[in-house]
Amino acid sequence: MNLLDGKVAVVTGAGRGLGRAHALALAAEGASVLVNDVDGPSAGAVAKEIEGAGGAAVANGTDLATMAGARSVVEAAVAAFGTVDVLVNNAGVSVRQPLDQLDEATLDLHLAVHLKATVATTQVAFPAMAAGGGGRIVNTVSGAGLRAEHAGTTAYACAKAAVYAATLVAAAEGKPHGIRVNAVSPLAITPMSAAFFGDTTLEQRDALAPERASDVVVFLASDLAGDLTGRILRIEGGHLSEAGMAWSGGATADRWTPDVLAARIDEVLLP
């Protein structure tokens, strides 16, 4: 079953890891794929792999750290294939720095590659998708942004949390135009995440293989997802859930003076 016959997909950060798996999976379902990665040779290798399997692909080595660069990636897909139907924002960086050592360049890099690139590619994809009657956008968030509790990840967690918000806003703006915007939060062992996992067994590597996340990306990119939009799907091996930022049930008072709050704080907080 070729779920994406005749569709054009853009995958950023597709030279290795999750992005490579996404590009190959989309191509296997019939999509023509623009394979973007700042490591141009890696992007070229993935494009050749797709072509070798009988698919259509072009490689793109543009750096997404500027909005102009990110926009040009979608424009390149339109120039090569005539339109864009699917956009997978996967490109990312991860540099650990304790908060007291975090420098501006590192913070800017994370915000640029994760947030600015996602916003800029979406900006360009929207009119092309709307003109074609709709489209599918799949962004990439992280448990590190939704449950920001790992030391040394301020830049990464903040950037990923921002992509979460950008996904929900884009879903609201895209809905009238038939554009569905969702995100995945994949727990996977990749070249970028390998250090986080440390030593792993063959069984663990299989359970957290990037291809498992790509199955979900293909679903969200296809008509099987229907009108699903504004959703964040957390993928942890064989376990799939919807993720979000929770609010407690809360409580009501005439006025939350410090003494009232001190007496009733447990009613306000999440369990």
Higher pLDDT, 147 or 217: 217
- Give the span between the Cα atoms of 177 and 250, in whole angstroms: 36
Which pLDDT belongs to residue 173? 98
The C-alpha angle 137, 114, 134, rounded to 5 degrees, equals 15
Quick one: average pLDDT of 95-119? 97
pLDDT, tens digit, for every residue of 224-261?
999 999 999 999 888 899 999 889 999 999 999 999 99
Number of separate domains in the chain: 1
pLDDT exceeds 70 at position 2: yes
Spatial contact of 27 and 44, defined as CB atoms under 8 Å apart: no
**Torsion, CA 4, CA 80, CA 170, CA 64, rounded to 10:** 120
Of 71, 70, 69, 84, the closest CA to residue 34 belongs to: 84
- Give the span between the Cα atoms of 260 and 17, in whole angstroms: 51
Which pLDDT belongs to residue 202? 61
Residue 143 binned pLDDT confidence (cut-offs 50, 70, 90)? confident
Concatenated DSSP letters for 232-262?
A: EEEEETTEEEE-----------S---HHHHH
In a domain, 2, yes or no: no
Q: Find all residues with CB under 8 Å of 252, minimum gap 6, and list them.
A: none
Phi, psi of 188 (to 5 degrees): -145, 150
Higher pLDDT, 150 or 228: 228
pLDDT, tens digit, for every residue of 186-231?
987 767 655 555 566 666 666 667 889 999 999 999 999 999 999 9
pLDDT exceeds 70 at position 270: yes
In a domain, 100, yes or no: yes
pLDDT exceeds 70 at position 142: yes
Q: What residues make up the domain containing 102?
A: 8-268
Spatial contact of 233 and 240, defined as CB atoms under 8 Å apart: yes
In a domain, 34, yes or no: yes
pLDDT, the chain, mean: 93
Which H/E stretch holds residue 59?
A: strand 57-60
Q: The domain spanning residue 77 has which CATH number?
A: 3.40.50.720
Which pLDDT belongs to residue 238? 86
Which pLDDT belongs to residue 206? 63
- Give the span between the Cα atoms of 116 and 18, in whole angstroms: 20
pLDDT, tens digit, for every residue of 30-53?
999 999 999 999 999 999 999 999
Active-site choice (156, 166, 185, 218) = 156
Which pLDDT belongs to residue 144? 82
Quick one: average pLDDT of 155-166? 96
Q: Percentage of residues in the chain with pLDDT exceeding 70?
A: 92
Q: Find all residues with CB under 8 Å of 23, minimum gap 6, and list them.
A: 9, 11, 14, 33, 35, 46, 50, 57
90 - beta bridge partners? none
- Give the span between the Cα atoms of 123 and 254, in whole angstroms: 45
Spatial contact of 233 and 38, defined as CB atoms under 8 Å apart: no
In a domain, 210, yes or no: yes
Residue ranges of the alpha helices (H) in 82-232? 104-110, 117-131, 143-146, 154-174, 194-197, 202-207, 210-221
Assess whether 164 carries a catalytic annotation: no
Q: Can you read off the two tokens belonging to residue 31?
A: 């999509």
In a domain, 243, yes or no: yes
Which pLDDT belongs to residue 150? 82
Phi, psi of 15 (to 5 degrees): -80, -20
In a domain, 1, yes or no: no
pLDDT, tens digit, for every residue of 75-101?
999 999 999 999 999 999 999 999 999
- Predicted TM-score (pTM) of the model is 0.92
